[in-house]
Chain A
Amino acid sequence: AQSVTQPDIHITVSEGASLELRCNYSYGATPYLFWYVQSPGQGLQLLLKYFSGDTLVQGIKGFEAEFKRSQSSFNLRKPSVHWSDAAEYFCAVGAITGGGNKLTFGTGTQLKVEL
């Protein structure tokens, strides 16, 4: 079964600083990987996804993530954080099951941005 680990529960960065959120996955085959962001009291918004091909994927809001098979990682990065980026970030790995596409989420990383 697949699993996702997000080692950092909380991260605080200053506005304008760079950001990297860590994600490690466990999956027996080529993984389908996703990053979602959740603002308080709201659903999840897809930031970016990796299915195959170029291991550096670009997403919305200036985010990017790099798939590293040798490290089983899919870390999310942003060169310059804005105050509006403060939110909860979830990494997820997808698998095809008999019932459809199933996502397994990490426990999330809470991002706080200091002005």
Chain B
Amino acid sequence: GAVVSQHPSWVICKSGTSVKIECRSLDFQATTMFWYRQFPKQSLMLMATSNEGSKATYEQGVEKDKFLINHASLTLSTLTVTSAHPEDSSFYICSASDSRVGGVQPQHFGDGTRLSIL
């Protein structure tokens, strides 16, 4: 149980294009989804937290106009990197949890998306 699917797993695109990454919870309802960025050989950096039906809460230093997050349903959140540039190249990972259960629930992670901007 608690499977999170992230798509695509790998994308290469030209500078200036926008890229959309999807995160789906397959067998549970994800009231909260998280988007992380991970640089090589480093830990995960939380970019934003999104609750279903609400605007995402961005961490300090993360540009909300650059990284658009939508969480329109209990099973799907998307991250759109707008006008991507080489410095946006990174490994992006989503996670999901069901906050209705109460307390601090484990986050279940997708397999990540390797984004390379040429």
Contact = CB atoms under 8 A, between A and B. Distances in A.
Interface string A41-71: 1111110010100000000000000000000
Given A43-B6, A43-B93, A101 B107 contact: yes
Contact of A107 (B4, B6, B43): B43
Nearest to A44: B109
Contact of A100 (B49, B91, B111): B49
A34 B111 CA distance: 18
A43 B97 contact: no
B50 to A, nearest CB: 8
Contacts of B31: 100
B51 A99 contact: yes
A90 B32 contact: no
Contact of B99 (A101, A103, A105): A101
Contact of B32 (A42, A49, A99, A105): A99
A90 B107 contact: no
A13 interface: no
Nearest to B49: A99
B17 interface: no
A100 B93 contact: no
Contact of A43 (B42, B43, B46, B112): B112
Contacts of A108: 42-43
B105 A43 contact: no
Contact of B103 (A46, A96, A97, A105): A96
Contacts of A102: 34, 46, 49
Interface centre among A36, A43, A51 (most CB of B within 10 A): A43
Interface of B: 4, 6, 31-32, 34, 41-44, 46, 49, 51, 57, 91, 93, 95, 97, 99, 103-112, 114
Given A108-B42, A108-B43, 15 more contacts: A32-B104, A41-B114, A43-B109, A43-B111, A44-B44, A44-B95, A44-B109, A46-B108, A96-B104, A99-B32, A100-B49, A101-B97, A101-B105, A102-B46, A106-B43
12 contacts: A32-B103, A36-B109, A41-B114, A43-B95, A43-B112, A46-B107, A46-B108, A51-B104, A98-B57, A101-B105, A101-B107, A110-B41
